[in-house]
Structure 1
């Protein structure tokens, strides 16, 4: 399913849903962050996705990271909660979702980068290389906050 990200766009369609979702900020031993290139829009992003029924939210973070990247993680904290009403995602099936995402900080446990039907590329990326990748501003904010190691989670 295709998706279009609308960010601070006054002509964006009005949202018709809010879904609890996660993103996961995890670094390897060299301090690189794990990113995927999404198959639905081609942008680089932290792994993540929607919570399933019967699942604790931290389990969502672990499952989504494994499914999209082949990497096993353990949740260690919260980078931030991202709820900007001016960020909506329009899907080809008619859903227009207002952003609601919890970005978790996680520790690398094991596994090797592996693509999935949601990720055409998976790799560990150095801070210095981020500006060379096509990353949505909302996602870049989460990545920047993850690298900042704030004492308190971002709430916005």
Structure 2
């Protein structure tokens, strides 16, 4: 099934949110509010989520809508890559999560590694910035940019955290089942290539 309906719903939602933020006309407020309602009705029709949850996650923001930012730490050790097992689905991903207000991208990467893998790292450099819509991730209600930051292991012992069961380093040819909502196989393979070759940061 095509995911165009989700793209349309997100665009309608973004237009309505911007309109509600900037319009001064009372009649336009009604029109933009109706657009927001239509966007949530589309999601309710094509998903199993209740309207209350859709409104809370998808149509409850104010101001001009911009993409959300997901930051992932890339930690190599002896040519193996650090992955964490997510409690939510039992699958594996690079440690990371949403960007936090008051933290720089590097600070978020360091914090997420400590919280999800139990080790201290030093963030070194940007490896990539991608639009999840351009990659084979599952459909998402939000428009999301993903940031990859190289980090070096400094201290600590691997362990799970509040949101993760386990943390471990993996060889390229022995990867566990990946949580493709967080990282695709193609992204992971490219990071292994970057670890061996001097390549510029990727962006798309």
| TM-score band, normalised by shorter chain | 0.7 to 0.9
Aligned length: 141
Specify the alignment match of 2:42 in structure 1.
none
Task: Tell me if the contact between 1:35 and 1:45 (Cα under 8 Å) persists in the aligned partners.
Answer: yes
**Greater relative CO, 1 or 2 (CA 8 Å, sep 6+):** 1
CA distance in 2, matches of 1:80, 1:48: 14
Task: Tell me if the contact between 1:80 and 1:103 (Cα under 8 Å) persists in the aligned partners.
Answer: yes
TM-score (norm 2): 0.62
Deviation of 1:25 (Å): 0.9
SS at match of 2:112: helix
Specify the alignment match of 2:103 in structure 1.
55
CA distance in 2, matches of 1:12, 1:118: 31
If you compute each CA radius of gyration, which structure gives the higher value, 1 or 2? 2
Task: Tell me if the contact between 2:71 and 2:97 (Cα under 8 Å) persists in the aligned partners.
Answer: yes
Cα gap change, 1:18/1:113 in structure 2, threshold over 3 Å: closer, same or farther? same
Question: Which sections of structure 1, spanning at least 5 residues, go unmatched?
Answer: 1-7, 91-95
What is the alpha-carbon root mean square deviation over aligned residues?
A: 2.3
Report which of the two has the higher share of helix.
2
Task: Tell me if the contact between 1:88 and 1:97 (Cα under 8 Å) persists in the aligned partners.
Answer: no
1:134 aligned to 2:177?
yes
- Match among 38, 44, 68 for residue 19 of structure 1: 68
Deviation of 1:41 (Å): 2.0
